[in-house]
Chain A
């Protein structure tokens, strides 16, 4: 029994390290995109949009990215940042699956489903 507990413990440690690494990449990418957008705004002196406006739909953001509008880049960076915890949930599903912990695979899929529903409700 204690052997089993010890093994689970080690597996969890490895999983946590893996999640940490993946998360670090996600955060670095989001941070870089936000930083590039902010620098572009100060260099060009324009947000690419009139007045106090910024793009808030996927369509508007991608249209803005195509012509490298600074606010579109910044909004993309913010969205990537919002996705980092979602990424952590996705990775956790695989991590629990690797451990053969079916109960927690389902629990974590449940969490992901709620996040996806939130995104759909938000975007409508």
Chain B
């Protein structure tokens, strides 16, 4: 049970603090989670199933999965490249580059969406050129993918960069001396060292890519059955006063979030064991 940190005796203060922490967390974090499922199943399993099987909802699920399937591998490649360059080499502007990689974390996704609109939109920087070549970026899949890439780009890099910096590059240097090629070094030396952190970053990146709302809502144009991702579909159903449908769609996103948290916890205990 709770004990005094120094004497090992349980203290009254400890009991009060733990109780307060638990009650606040139950109200702030657990209640919304439980509520989502209780409302999704409020009208029974059959209504839930028919809500999920609705063609519009299925389309939104498919589109969201497609965006994640494109975005996550690109961000993994970027994360590995950025961490390799920054952790293994010294070059001028390294600090600036790290800050730039972090920018999407501090910028609101809404701003990202607006910025993309001023780049690829009809009156944007590249808009006239795109129009001339009949290329549609905004209010279509490419726009949704680009904004999602912006929002989720730091996740993988942020997880593996500190790890690669802490590990140094002695093992890689040894491999070079033994005549290994770049890819061999990466596959046989670096990758095994960073695999759990890489997986962890990829899981977080996926969860965020699936759930992105603000940035996507700016660039998607909200075309029903075409550019409507799952989070946007939740809002659409809510505005249509189909609350049970909205909660059913939201419950699928919640399940993905919970899976991500379980994987995260499992990876963390694995990482500590190593």
A, B bound: no
**Chain A interface residues (CB < 8 Å from chain B):** none
